[in-house]
A = this chain, B = another copy of it.
Amino acid sequence: MNFLEERILKDGLVKPGNVLKVDSFLNHQMDIALMDEIGKAFYMRFKDKPITKVLTIEASGIAIAYPVARCFNVPLVFAKKSKSVNIDGDMYVATVESFTHKNVNQVIVSKKFLSEDDHVLIIDDFLANGCALQGLISIAEDAGATVEGIGIAIEKGFQIGGTVIRNLGSPLESLANVDAMDAEKGTVTFRKQ
């Protein structure tokens, strides 16, 4: 069992509806030492790739992607979820449905920050149905960039996203892959890595 799986067992909360709450250390309040460790873990898994940019999506993805970009010494680009009046018209756009928030967002990245010269490592905190990741991959492909890999902190292995994303062809690494949760017993079972 790795450091993230141990932390999930210690501080994660299982709620009805297959909700895993990790908001005390990962995606509302963040334990920065844990985040730095996550950054190093992804660096170890992808350090042989010629990464030029780390790409994530707001908001909680930023805190996972920051230490990864730091390890690779490359810029961090985060996709935004809705059109801002401060953003130029010249951008890549993908339409993404959020399972969590029950809505549809435009995911956007300025064309200035991704190009065909880029080798992108995509990072996010959760993978469930994979829609947000599909949006990020679509944007990287629109830019002509190479998606060298995808790093996920927590994958819900019992949902469809992991299969959908792996079928798209880029190497996907999740630090913790949840096979099953039981809200009544409060238990989490991880897939063996």
Q: How large is the interface on A (under 10, 10 to 19, 20 to 34, 35 or more residues)?
A: 35 or more
Q: Which among B32, B76, B110 is the interface contact of A30 at CB below 8 angstroms? A: B76
Task: Choose the segment among A21-29, A42-50, A133-141, A156-164 that binds chain B (4+ C-beta atoms closer than 8 Å).
Answer: A21-29
- Among A28, A63, A78, A112, the one with the most B-chain Cβ atoms within 10 Å of its Cβ is A28
Would you call A100 and B84 a contact (CB within 8 A)?
yes
Would you call B28 and A78 a contact (CB within 8 A)?
yes
Check A185 for interface membership: any CB of B closer than 8 A. Answer: no
A188 and B58 alpha carbons, distance in the complex (Å): 29
Contact with B along A80-98 (1 / 0, CB 8 A): 1000111100000000000
Check A77 for interface membership: any CB of B closer than 8 A. Answer: yes
Residue of B nearest to A72 (CB): B32
Residue numbers in B under 8 Å from A67 (CB-CB): 66
Would you call B101 and A85 a contact (CB within 8 A)?
yes
Check A5 for interface membership: any CB of B closer than 8 A. Answer: no
Q: Which among B23, B30, B87 is the interface contact of A69 at CB below 8 angstroms? A: B30
Check A6 for interface membership: any CB of B closer than 8 A. Answer: no
Binding site for B on A (CB under 8 A): 19, 21, 23-24, 28-33, 35-36, 58-60, 62-63, 66-67, 69-70, 73-78, 80, 84-87, 100-102, 109-110, 112-113
Show 27 residue pairs from A and B whose CB-CB distance is below 8 angstroms, ordered by the A residue: A19-B86, A21-B86, A23-B86, A24-B113, A28-B77, A28-B78, A28-B80, A28-B113, A29-B76, A29-B77, A29-B112, A30-B75, A30-B78, A32-B73, A32-B75, A32-B76, A35-B66, A36-B70, A58-B59, A59-B59, A60-B62, A62-B62, A62-B63, A63-B66, A63-B76, A66-B66, A84-B101
